[in-house]
Each structure stands twice: as C-alpha cells, then as structure tokens.
Structure 1
C-alpha cells in the first residue's frame, strides 16, 4: 500500500451536467460578462466615434507625448525594480544576512503605503520634485514589493541540487546564478513585472502630484475639466491597447518551459551562503530600501502631524472618512469574494476549457486601469440604467472587476483542500446542490475566502480613481479626503488620513506576506 494519499478529486462523469454545475456556470458567465463590460465599452467607443475622428484623436502630438512618457517610465522602472528585488530576495532568503526575517518583512511593508502617499512624502522633503526622474524614483520604492514577493517565494522553492551540479561542472558562482538560478525565476520575474507595468499604466495620484503626464492623468483631466468624452474615450482605447501589449509581452517572455522538479524524493534544505566579510556591508541595501520606502513617509508624516498639532485631527471628518472607507472595503471585499466562488469551484471541481476561458476573462478584465472601468460604468449607468449611477451597487461592481483575481487565487487554493466527497454526501442526504455546496465546501473554504476578501480590501482601501468617479454623492473615503486636501496644498490636514490608510492597510499587507510564505511551504 502506498504511503502517499491521492489528493486529487474524483473524476465526475460528464454525460449530463449536474444541477450544481449548471447554475454555478451560469453565475460565472454573468460575472464574466460584467467583467468584460469595460472592454466592450472601449470597442463601442471606438466604433461610434468614427474612423476619421478616431484617427485624428489617436494620432496627434499629445498622444505621442503620453506614449513616450509611458514607454520610458516602464522601460526604466521595471528593470530597476527587478534588479533590486532579486538582490534583496537573494540576500534575505539565501544568505546569512543578519536580521534576514526583519528585512524580509520590511521589504513588503511598503505595500501598505499607497503610491500617492509616497509622492506626498517625497514632495514634503523635495517640493520641486517632478518629471520622469521623480516618477521612476517613487515608482521603484512604491512597487518593487510586487516583484520581491514572488521572487523571494521562488527562492524558497528552488532545489539547491541543481546549483551544486552546475558548480561541480566547474562553473563559477556568478555563472551558476546566471545560468541556473535566473532561468528558474523567469515566471516570478514576468508575473511581478506585469503587475508593476499594469500599476504604472493605471496609477493616477502618484503622477498627478509630481506633474508627470500619463494616459491615466490625461483621461481624468479630460473627464473632469472639459468633460470631453470623445477625447477621453480614445485615450482609454490607447491605454487598453498598452495593457494588451504588456500582457502579450509577459506571455511571450514566460514561454512554455517546464519548471517542475523531476525525480524521486523532495528538494533538500537550502544551505545559506556565508557572506563573510560582506555580511555587514550587505546590510546597506536593505537598510537603504527601508529608509527610502518607509523612512521618508514616516519622516514627512511625523513632521506634518507635529506642525499641524491637534487641530488637524478634525474628529468628525476624520472618523466619518474612516467609517465610510471601512464600509466600502467590507462591501467590496464581500462582493469580490462572493463573485469568485463560482469560478473557483468550477476551476477545481469541473476544470474544462469553458471554465479556463471564463477565468481568463476575469484576469483580462482586471488588467484594465481603474479609470477605464469607471468610464465604462459611468457611461452604461447614464445611458442605460440611470438609477444605478453613483450608487453603492455600481462601485461594488467596479471593485469586483478590478480585484476579483485577488480573491480567486486564495479561494481556489482553499476549495482544492476540501474533499469533494463531502458535497456528494450532503447531496445524498437530500440537500439541494446549492445547500450542499454552501454547507460543506464554502464553509470549510472560509479561511481562503477571508484571505481573498482581505487582499481585495487592501486594494479597495487605497483605490482612488474609480472611487472618485463612481462613489455616491457625499462619499468621502480616506483616499478621497487625502487627495482633496493635498490638491488644496493643505499637507498638514491631509496627514491624519494618510496615517489611517497606512495603519489599516498594514495588517492586510502582513497577511499577504504570510500567505506568500505559506504557499512557498515555509
């Protein structure tokens, strides 16, 4: 008898689609159609604009300037983030660096600081900071954790036997790293780089504060100042095209190479590289990263809090903004986790080409910038279903489209650990398919759903563009209040809102860090 249990779910005959599968598939299709609404909007906008007008609006000097800014920003920022993340991950995961666990944690904490708060902090020290150099510098400290997280997890999973074999063939250490280790990091590098690229395309607050024009800042300027819908729609079309280019490049660079270890047994424990003389000089890198990504925001916020005194803590306004933020985060997080249940269940229990196609639709939709999603929902609600314009339902739909993959990844992993026999037993006892799914799988997968909800809520708490355009009248979240005050150059009054965003984002960021370590088996 084998000592290893087969954890694969039993194969279900496909002669007739079970009732549970049919209604779950129907819900998943509805969610997919909602997710593809922004893409349909962009295509529709291009058609109704007309070829001649579209060509004039797309192929003009302003669009060329925005394209140059975007390309330079991506081409400079991503390589710097990659080098920084790989070096820092190697130091914290594969060497005897003093305090490696602390530095690993500090490398993830910058995710709790919204990108526009980074801009606010840097401007507090250097008021004249602007342009491409400022955009690259702040983007690196704000977004490098998106590469550090997957790369550090990949380092924990690599089998050191491959490196030992390469060394035994006479390759020097740097050649071993370049020819053996780096190729195994390709998936993590491509995935993290794609995330950073999509964030650079969709970010508004960071670049608006330092007066660096991107497609997103131009779209919102058109929408808010002149309400030039046609020009904004064409810029959105170009922005979506840029997203598709990034997705295509990531898929091409990722390739189809296998990365799984073959052979009996398991990978042995990694032997830490001894830095020797370089042990303490190597601390300069993680210390410098912590200073620029956390020290500068802390210093600026502390200075403004002290300068503003107790008067800037306008209790009624601050706590109202906090309350509204928490309510929106809870509503959006629950809606996102609930929308992820059908496709997560299908991808685990009924993995078919149809379920994989639907899942791909979700990821494609979430790659589109928040401003495009907001423009689509504004247009649809005004033209078709006006009662939904600027309602909680509309903004909840936007959050589902933007953050559904975050909930999907966690929920799918939890559902895979629930035996399918429990559902079958509940059904055999007379429960309906929906009741059986709820009472067994959904309840046992609750930790994964909670993690997915927390990850979605982290994005919602720091989201600015879609919230500004879609939130009901009278809504003033922490991000919206912070942005309004900084726009009035009242940096001291904005400090409490920034502090609260960081404080409430920090536990969610630590959960993300813990989740990445758990997936990597540590």
Structure 2
C-alpha cells in the first residue's frame, strides 16, 4: 500500500539521518551557548560591557542602518526600471545589475583602496557594502516583478490612480517578502564580512573577533564577541520573520497571466539610463578597471607565479568536494520536508537555516574549539574545512533540492513500486533523476560560496593549503596589489557564471 505524503514522520533511516545532520548544524550555536555559560556572569559583564564593545556595536548598527536602506532603494528602484518601465536595453541592464554579485566584497574593497588609498571609516564601509550587496535585493525583487500579476495594477489605474500611486499603493506592498528577504541577506553579509572591512581598517565584530583570536588563541574575549554577534544575527532573523506578516501574495484562481504594462519613461528615459550607468560603473567598472590596471602593470610575469596553478586547483577541489558533500547532506532533509511535511521536518529544516545565518568567523571558532578539545586528530584538516563549508552553505543546496523534489510527483514513485520496483530503486530511477537539475543548480551555488569564502578558510585551512581567496588576501595584505590581481580575476571569472545561474533560477522560482 502506498503511503501518502505527510501521513507519517517518514522512513526511519531518513529521519535519523536528518536528526544527525541537524545536530551537526547546531554545533556553532551550541558552542556559543556553552562558551557563554562557562565564562561566568562576572567575566561576561567585564568582557561585554566595555567601551570597545560599545564602539563595535555603534559601528555595526550604523553600517546596517545606512547600508540596508540604500541597498533596498537601489535594488527595488533598479528592478522596477528594468522590469516595469520602457527602459531602453532593459534586458542588458537586468544582467548588469546582478553582475556585481560575482565580485567578492574584499576584491571590491581592494579596488576602491587602489583608487582612494585613504578610504576608510563608516563612509568607506557603506560605500563598499552597498556596491557589493545591493544585487541581493535586486535579484529577488526583479524576479517577483517579472512574474507579478498585473491585474491589480490595471484595476488601480482604471480607478484613476497615477503610475506613482500605483507603484506605492499596489506594487510596493507585493514586494515586501522579496525586499525583506533581500534586506536580511544584506544584513547577515554585513555581520559576516571580514576582508572588505579589514582592508579599510573599519572595525566590526568580525574583524575584532579575528584579531582577538589571532592574539589570544581561543580566548574568552573572542568567544564573548562571538556571542554578541550571534545575538545580532538571531535578532535579524526574528525581525525578518515578523516583517513577513500573514498577507497573501499569491493569485487566486487559474488562468493565464497577462503581460505587464511597461510604464513609459518619456523624458525620464535619459535620467533612468544615467542612474543605472552610474551604479554599474561604480559597482562593476571600478573593480574591473583596477584589477585590469594591476594586471597590466604586472605584465605576463605575474601569471608565471609557481603557486598560481596549485592555488587554483585547491580552490576547484575544495569547491567541488564541498558542493558534493553539501548536496548529499541536504538531500535527506529536502526529501523529508517535501515528502513528509510536518512540524518535525520544519524544525529540522530551521536548524540548518539558523546555523547558516551565523558568520563564518563564528562557525570557524566553534569548529576550532571543538576539534582542539575533543578530536585533535582532525584539527586543521580538510575534513573540518569541508564541514565548515557545508554548515555555511547548506541552505543554498536545500532550497534548490526542495524545489526540485517538489516538481517530481510522488505518484511516479508509487507507480514504479506498483510495477515491482523496490522503493530505493524506484527513488533512484525516478525521483533522483527528476531532481538532478535542481541538485546541479544547488551545487553550483554552493561552489560559488566556497570560491569566495575567506574567513573560515583562513582559520581552518590545513597548513600549506591555499585558495584563491586566502592567497589574494595574503598578497593584498602585504600591499602587493600587482601580485594579488590574478587571484582576483580568477575569482571573478569563476563566480560570473554561477551568479548568472542564480539570476536565472530566481526568475524561474518566482514563476512557480
């Protein structure tokens, strides 16, 4: 007898495996809780309530409160121009506005420091953050706008509302979920970023934790800073969940969706082109120009560095292995969430999202402490580094796998079993094949994250292991901007197709 979805908890081997994966995902949070409890109240007060922490809190709050609204304005405004107006060349602009995501923030910082050596402080932090992260808002908002049912807009316009009033009263509320989700991603990236801010000497919790760890290995001060940083992350997650509300955004009823009407820009066409050209020039033009400038200055000899090929191979190897491991770990949970939805599967899924929201510095600090005290044999090994990648990028795999499995009808499994195929064989031949494209997409996005990951790799990479990100960081920290340029270019070239894939997938997801 076929078992319907949601009628039971799921196959017990899958359930047990999901619990193990969730427990692994919660290691960083458990580390923070235990470290805080072991520190003692008096030490907590002394380490947390001090001027240095107050300075970091102010820097962090200012960074988030200034950067996030700017990213929302640029992301929503750019998406609206591209998707809903008569903007000339809107298809090209659609890709160009997503492209800055292919340039790691620390490479962006390197380029801007090359242009303005005195760049620093809150202004420098905001400038680099906005130019690096506004696509995190633009991409989901553009995806929603491209598929948004125009019926409500047409009804509002027929009632005499001007295009501006239609935008603010009808369109903007429909973008709340996408905008809030993008704003959350920007905020979490701001809390996690290390290289971009360290390069301009702008102190944040992540830079302070790294410096503290380097000076006093596994000290209580670093643990307490990590605890405060995790509290910030959890507050952001809670705030975003409250922002979603319970409003309904889906269409009611079947039928084909009409083509959205593009608002004529008229005399504002030139202004729209100028604004997007300015954003693109700052976010893409400046980093690409300065990377190219340093490459030209170095000449052909900089491509003959003996460590360039091994570094590229290390990066590709860790990216491929990390992506494969993450997909394998995410598959049982995605299967449980889609085939057997319920409170337990939601809790197990949420555990992965909570841990992945923690900055790489906290994940690395947790794994360093746990391995040093409990399993020293694997300390600073490839196994631990790949585990960190899986913790950080599990949701990228999970979201894609969940969407792929949802499109593989459960009835096909049942039909295969009815024809005499064992459940495992039916799953491998039917469901797994149908979900393979989604798994490949998720693996590509995990690969993108690993290529550009810096902080956890700096702390966890085995001796002698270099990735493009760590080698770039090593050379740029020594003010060898010429030597760092090839590594920057290779990271951009590896990231570009993955960024385009993310852009395309977001459009498809919005249409589901």
State which of 360, 382, 400 in structure 2 corresponds to 1:370. Answer: 360
CA 1:264–1:326: 2 relative to 1, 3 Å: closer
CA 1:453–1:228: 2 relative to 1, 3 Å: closer
TM-superposed CA distance for 1:13, in Å, is 7.6
Structure-2 separation of matches of 1:138 and 1:343: 36
TM-score, length-scaled by structure 2: 0.97
1:284 aligns with 274
2:204 aligns with 214
TM-superposed CA distance for 1:313, in Å, is 1.7
1:306 aligns with 296
TM-superposed CA distance for 1:505, in Å, is 0.9
Structure-2 separation of matches of 1:465 and 1:495: 19
TM-superposed CA distance for 1:10, in Å, is 7.9
User: CA-to-partner distance for each residue in 1:88-127, whole Å, 9 max, x for gaps?
Assistant: 1011101111111111101111111000000000011100
SS class of match (1:11): coil
CA 1:414–1:308: 2 relative to 1, 3 Å: same
CA 1:100–1:355: 2 relative to 1, 3 Å: same
Structure-2 separation of matches of 1:357 and 1:409: 15
State which of 143, 146, 151 in structure 2 corresponds to 1:161. Answer: 151
Aligned residues: CA RMSD: 1.6
User: CA-to-partner distance for each residue in 1:49-108, whole Å, 9 max, x for gaps?
Assistant: 111101110111100000000000000000011111111101110111111111110111
State which of 24, 30, 36 in structure 2 corresponds to 1:40. Answer: 30
Structure-1 separation of matches of 2:493 and 2:89: 24
1:112 aligns with 102
Runs of at least 5 residues in structure 2 that lack an aligned partner in the other structure:
none
User: CA-to-partner distance for each residue in 1:317-359, whole Å, 9 max, x for gaps?
Assistant: 1111100000000011001111110111111111111001111
1:387 correspondence with 2:377: yes
1:518 correspondence with 2:511: no
TM-superposed CA distance for 1:397, in Å, is 1.2
User: After the TM superposition, which of the residue ranges 503-512 and 138-147 deviates more from structure 2?
Assistant: 503-512
1:103 aligns with 93
TM-superposed CA distance for 1:314, in Å, is 3.0
User: After the TM superposition, which of the residue ranges 140-149 and 423-432 deviates more from structure 2?
Assistant: 423-432
1:419 aligns with 409
Q: Is the 8 A contact 2:28 2:367 kept in 1?
A: yes
Structure-1 separation of matches of 2:154 and 2:28: 50
TM-superposed CA distance for 1:312, in Å, is 1.7
Structure-2 separation of matches of 1:160 and 1:422: 35
State which of 170, 178, 190 in structure 2 corresponds to 1:180. Answer: 170
TM-superposed CA distance for 1:264, in Å, is 4.7
1:140 correspondence with 2:114: no
CA 1:254–1:12: 2 relative to 1, 3 Å: closer
Q: How does 1:422-441 map to 2 (within 5 A)?
A: 422-428=412-418, 432-441=422-431
Structure-2 separation of matches of 1:164 and 1:425: 45
Structure-1 separation of matches of 2:181 and 2:5: 33
2:260 aligns with 270
Structure-1 separation of matches of 2:233 and 2:511: 33
1:84 correspondence with 2:74: yes
User: After the TM superposition, which of the residue ranges 272-281 and 233-242 deviates more from structure 2?
Assistant: 272-281
User: After the TM superposition, which of the residue ranges 267-276 and 403-412 deviates more from structure 2?
Assistant: 267-276
State which of 301, 314, 322 in structure 2 corresponds to 1:332. Answer: 322
TM-score, length-scaled by structure 1: 0.95
1:14 aligns with 7
2:54 aligns with 64
CA 1:14–1:170: 2 relative to 1, 3 Å: closer
TM-superposed CA distance for 1:225, in Å, is 2.3
Q: Is the 8 A contact 1:10 1:420 kept in 2?
A: no
CA 1:426–1:79: 2 relative to 1, 3 Å: same
CA 1:13–1:56: 2 relative to 1, 3 Å: closer
Structure-1 separation of matches of 2:292 and 2:53: 40
Runs of at least 5 residues in structure 1 that lack an aligned partner in the other structure:
1-8
1:351 aligns with 341
User: CA-to-partner distance for each residue in 1:332-391, whole Å, 9 max, x for gaps?
Assistant: 100111111011111111111100111111111110111000011111111111111111
